Amino acid sequence: MLLAISSPHSQDCRACEDSMPLTIRLEDVQRRRIAERFDTTDVLLRSIHAQSANGEIRLLRHVDPYGDTVFNGLQARDVVTEIDELRADVSTDDLSILSGIRDLAEQCASGVHLFLMFYGD
């Protein structure tokens, strides 16, 4: 079972101070890229930080802006729910980035042997 990898950086918002681009990929068990999205303007990290007081963001708060984070298909279902929470409070421009990440999470949750990868820095 794969778990979200956490780092000390995921608990604060040091990544919000400087641009920390994320590459988000849907990969199969051989780590082949199936689909990919980019968050070059820290939309996800800023949204997570803004919702940090809300206890509903439990998995995405562990996305490491300086390393790699992986979610399996079971976890991806919860990631979809968390992204829906984040989408309620973002601008129209930022909404497209979160929607793209959500699409990858949905594909991961509905597939077999798929993983949602977040590559930081």
Structural domain includes residue 1:
no
* Mean pLDDT, rounded, of the chain: 87
pLDDT exceeds 70 at position 15:
no
- Residue 116's nearest CA partner among 52, 27, 36, 39 is 27
For 100, the domain range is: 17-119
Structural domain includes residue 59:
yes
- What's the confidence (pLDDT) of residue 6? 42
Task: Tell me the three state secondary structure of residue 84.
Answer: helix
Structural domain includes residue 50:
yes
Q: Which of these ranges, 9-13, 25-29, 30-34, has the smallest mean pLDDT?
A: 9-13
pTM for this one? 0.83
Task: Tell me the three state secondary structure of residue 2.
Answer: coil
Model pLDDT for residues 77-90, shown as the tens digit of each residue:
999 999 999 998 89
Domain count, the chain: 1
Structural domain includes residue 6:
no
Strand order of the β-sheet with 33-39 is: 33-39, 22-28, 114-119, 68-72
Structural domain includes residue 41:
yes
Segment 101-108 shows an average pLDDT of: 98
